[in-house]
Chain A
Amino acid sequence: MTDTNVNAIEQKESSQNIQYSDKEIILEVRNLNLYYGEVQALHSISMEFYKNHVTALIGPSGCGKSSFLRCFNRMNDLIPIARVEGEVLLEGENIYAPGVDVVSLRRRVGMVFQKPNPFPKSIFDNVAYGLVVNGIKDRSFIEERVKQSLIQAALWDEVQDRLSKSALGLSGGQQQRLCIARALAVQPDILLMDEPASALDPIATQKIEDLIHELKTGYTIIIVTHNMQQAARVSDYTAFLYMGKLIEVDKTDIIFTRPKLKQTSDYITGRFG
């Protein structure tokens, strides 16, 4: 498993520049139900996510958007009472099929969390972590990848002189960009972002949003956000969830200008939620 991961990480280098045709489906959700014990959190959701596009998941608090996001890298597995029914197809393969290696799935589907959560390690070690645990030992490769990831995350200029210092000394916004760099270092196919800017000030938020724009060329991004302006600014597609159900999904400009359902337009215009 480790060897294939190493290969996958190294190979991706060369395949990065290939342009994909528009609207290639990378992730497909089929009739997904999520239960926490007796409580059903998600109700038969089906939708598609397109490669190298940003999809925003919006909806009021408790509507299940974070739970939905956590189905894509099986983070819900960590909750003992959580149970998933239905299929999530990553490039055609069901990630909930028996025998799927969750560890290598999570290498392919990276995640950035709501609160910046760098490890209490040096900046360098934080970014290198994903490579090291996936079995890469080549020091110069790691150094190069750490640098690249920090550049991609627009953090290199600020931290290049202090790579060996603790990541906990960075500001909140820097920490969040570090977490993005950390996720990018293993070159995932998909980047999940769970309200990545909700704990940050407006300037840091702006930087994260700019970053999402940049990253879209190389990554598929699924972002959960509370902030509808943010969804409108950063995403190509927007899905509106309410009470664990997918209400409407479409191109972002359509959702925000002429949604098909009244419920969606009510939420977007701020009439509830």
Chain B
Amino acid sequence: MAELSMGHIKTYNRDVVMNVDRLTKIRQRRMLKEKLAFSIFRIAVFLNGIALFIILYFLIANGWKSINWEFLTSMPRESMTKGGILPCITGTVLLGIGSMIISMPLGILSAIYLNEYAKPGMLVDIIRLGINNLAGVPSVVFGLFGLAFFVVVFHMGISLIAGCFTLAAMSLPLIIASTEEALRSIPDTYREASLGLGATKWQTVYKVVLPAALPSILTGGILSLSRVAGETAPIMFTAAVFYTPSLPKSIFDEIMALPYHVYVLATAGTEIEKTRPLQYGTALVLITLVLGLNLFAIYLRARMQKKNSK
């Protein structure tokens, strides 16, 4: 009897020891995997950060000296080898504002229709597929489309307005996609609660869904604005020109724009080497504008989310 129970204890102990051994091994392997995964993520993030940092450093180091008040507020002089970039800044800002005035309402309304009203089915799927594919069309194709459609067919000529329409067409799918994403993120319980109180569909969209989705919608809008501001290809056939002697006076005037100006100075100028500092300066202004817009988008979203939950 005593022997038997001793034997029991022995086997039991051996089992425990083996189990502990195996468990420790499993645990160690899991820890290793965990560390490995973490390191990979960390490296990925680090590389991203480094890339942005290098670009910024490069631009600041090379362009910093060209930036001064005169550079920002005066017209180019002496075949654009001296003077400022005021018309380019103006042009890019006007293009950004103009294209958003066209594409934001149109895009948001389309997204509301697709997400809130349209009955799911083949037709909506096809429309959505079309929009998603539009987002993947290279920007130079939009440029050519703008040239053929707005500039030629609609007789707008190379002009601010033709550029705005072209950029709007390009940013439309981005805005629709981001707005749809924002609307989808609003829980259906909000819609049910509103409809359950005797609100119409439009009241539900207007008073509940849109206010809740607004921060994300605006963020999407600002991000597409920053994308629009940096585009060269869509405006090179439709709006931007080498040089204008004055600021645009009407929406049918040709304009200068920051990205196109960099392109022109770097490839087609008479004295490419001499204008290097100006190129870097212009690029620095452009990237500051774009990053500034992105930061503003982040700030706006954070602020509105805070306001919503207070």
Contacts and interface: CB of A to CB of B under 8 A. Distances in A.
B11 to A, nearest CB: 42
B189 A133 contact: no
Interface stretch (B142-150, B153-161, B197-205): B197-205
B308 interface: yes
Interface residues of A, number: 32
A9 to B, nearest CB: 10
B306 to A, nearest CB: 10
Contacts of B195: 75, 78, 106
**What secondary structure prevails in chain B residues at the interface with A?**
helix
Nearest to A126: B193
Nearest to A118: B193
Nearest to A122: B310
A244 interface: no
B198 A80 contact: no
A20 to B, nearest CB: 23
A130 interface: yes
Nearest to B197: A130
Interface string A111-148: 10101011111000000011011100000000000000
| Residue with the greatest number of chain B CB neighbours at <10 A, chosen from A107, A110, A119, A182 | A119
B196 A110 contact: yes
Interface string B70-82: 0000000000000
A100 B310 CA distance: 40
Given A165-B310, A166-B310, A107 B212 contact: no
B197 A133 contact: yes
B190 interface: yes
A186 interface: yes
B194 A133 contact: yes
B5 to A, nearest CB: 42
A273 interface: no
A220 B211 CA distance: 33
A49 to B, nearest CB: 18
Nearest to A164: B310
A56 interface: no
Contacts of A75: 192, 195-196
A111 B196 CA distance: 6
Given A75-B192, A113-B193, A119-B208, A103 B200 contact: yes
Given A119-B212, A186-B198, 10 more contacts: A80-B120, A113-B192, A115-B189, A117-B187, A117-B193, A118-B193, A119-B190, A119-B208, A120-B212, A120-B309
Interface of B: 119-120, 187-200, 203, 207-208, 211-212, 308-310
